[in-house]
Amino acid sequence: MLNQNQTPLLDTLKACAERPHAPFYTPGHKRGQGISQSLVDVFGKTVFQADLPELTELDNLFAASGVIQQAQQLASEAFGSSQTWFLVNGSTCGIEAAILATCGTGDKIILPRNVHSSAIAGLVLSGAIPIFVNPEYDSVLDIAHSITPSNLEAALRQHPDAKAVFMVYPTYYGVCGDIRAIASLAHQYNMPLLVDEAHGAHFAFHPQLPIPALAAGADLTVQSIHKTLGALTQASMLHVQGDRIDRERISKALQLVQSTSPSYLLLASLDTARQQMAIYGKELMSRTLQLAEEARTRISQIPGLSVLDLTPNPSPQAASGVKSLGFIALDRTRLTVTVSGLGLTGFAAEEILDQQLGVTAEFASLQHLTFIISLGNTQQDIEQLVQAFTKLAMTSPPKSEAFLGIQEKSSHVLWDNLFMMGDAMCISPREAFFAATEILPIQETTERICAEIVCPYPPGIPVLMPGEIITHTALEYLRQIQSMGGFISGCADSSLSTLKVVKI
């Protein structure tokens, strides 16, 4: 057992920042001496004194043998891995490296269709061929959940030669699929399970939170420490356990996708976020869970509002009493409030909350608003959130027809048809990325090869990926999502007047 009270990286950085010397190295502001006064006015001077390069005492991120290695070992113990790498380019670079380290050009990887764009970047960089598995989809709430063991098993039987299985755990909504069963299936086929746990860095620190990916059997997991814990934006970690992952390849891949000038402010924030959680994690998470529970209870009592829970609203699954295997646990610190009962879209509610009521959500979708409740939130924040929703409901009283109205327009009818089409991948995402492309009016793109991601919200599942054939059904689906008030992300023209396609 290591002494988790230590912060070797922070301590050494502090000593270097305080040691008087004439600096003839990067960065050019020389420990804040040359920094613009307007920046000092906002941030103060101390932070710039610690903005140092890889001085001898500060170790080297890509050949760690000193204080970075010590800090990574402490993190490995605290998060339950065999080896941990600190990341300065977000989980984005960790996910890219995970794919690069397990798949070469032409290798297959099984992954959910609702992956984050960093996984698509990993496909482009590696040249891997995606075998997409559709996630479970709650058609009433219009939310995509996790892939299920049975969907994965079908893909594994069809593609036993794939090199890895990749899953998102939890989803942006805090929804967790059956990761134990998924890990065990991947291992039966001798494949490693790679996990995008960007939103689950806090799971290891409280028994009432969902099981962490590593404890459930994942071989590799990537966590945005900055998203739910106390690290600076971009500061993330990649953890590995067991022997299914080649650790040398991870180190090599991380060198490809990260800066050779890693920020020590970010690295030190990883060291201290780990210390904070190792020492106070359970207490901090108990308080966070308590705050989240209070917000859930009080908001769900406001007429016209409901809160995403493990037995979702009147969904077909819940009605028939069958638990969705794409939703077996919920991170209760993630709060998704359905506002469509007020006759408002999530987008409209977000604007009112943000601009008139002083509350800012993480993101909005057609029917919902999602809030991240973390160790940084206070009782006062929760009070403000509940008051804001109370006022919102008073100014937009529940409309019995409204919820049904939005639901009737829900995309699920179309959704069912969309992915009956089977495998539409024509060339690999990498080939599509490097191909000559052209931008065409959308009506002229049917049967052409798509050169960009086209992802509607809701439900946040890409309808088109680079390398896929554009079908009439896909375009019709996108048009209907737009007419419902949804928005399209991932592509250059979000109005969808035009689409980028591969030139013939």
Binding site for ligand PLP (CB under 6 A): 90-92, 95, 116, 118, 168, 172, 196, 198, 224, 236
| C-beta of 231 vs 284, nearer to ligand PLP | 231
Q: In the bound complex, what is the minimum distance in angstroms from residue 433's beta carbon to ligand PLP?
A: 19
Distances in Å between the Cα of 423 and the Cα atoms of 130, 193, 499 are 10, 22, 21
Measured distance CA(351)–CA(361) in Å, rounded: 10
Distance between CA atoms of 195 and 115, rounded to whole angstroms?
11
The token duo for 40 is 């000092």
The minimum distance between CB 457 and ligand PLP, in angstroms, equals 13
Nearer to ligand PLP, 85 or 389 (CB): 85
> Which one, of 221, 240, 156, lies nearest residue 190 by Cα?
156
- Whose Cβ is closer to ligand PLP: residue 172's or residue 477's? 172
Closer Cβ to ligand PLP, 91 or 367, answer by number:
91
Four-CA torsion 445, 447, 449, 453, nearest 10 degrees: 60
* CB-nearer residue toward ligand PLP: 92 or 151: 92
168/502 with CB nearer ligand PLP: 168
Closer of 216 and 386 to ligand PLP (Cβ): 216
Q: Which is nearer to ligand PLP, 90 or 177 (CB)?
A: 90
CB of 106 to ligand PLP, least distance (A): 25
Q: How far is the CB of 41 from ligand PLP (least distance, A)?
A: 28
Number of Cβ within 10 Å of residue 254's Cβ equals 24
Name the minimum Å distance from CB 223 to ligand PLP.
9
| Cβ at position 46, least distance to ligand PLP in Å | 26
Please answer whether residues 271 and 84 qualify as being in contact, where contact means their C-beta atoms are separated by less than 8 angstroms. Answer: no
Number of Cβ within 10 Å of residue 47's Cβ equals: 14
For the bound state, the minimum distance from the C-beta of residue 398 to ligand PLP, rounded and expressed in Å, comes to 31
Q: How far is the CB of 224 from ligand PLP (least distance, A)?
A: 4
Of all residues in the shown chain, the one whose CB is closest to ligand PLP is 90
* 289 contacts 297 by C-beta, under 8 angstroms: no
Dihedral in degrees, nearest 10, Cα atoms 107, 111, 117, 120: 10
**Residue with Cβ nearer ligand PLP (427 or 488):** 488
SS3 144: strand
CB of 425 to ligand PLP, least distance (A): 22
Nearest-10 crossing angle of helices 179-188, 149-158:
20
Which CB contacts under 8 angstroms, 24+ apart, belong to 12-18? Answer: 12/57, 12/58, 12/67, 13/50, 13/52, 13/58, 13/264, 13/268, 14/50, 15/57, 16/50, 16/52, 16/55, 16/57, 16/58, 17/46, 17/49, 17/50, 17/52, 18/49
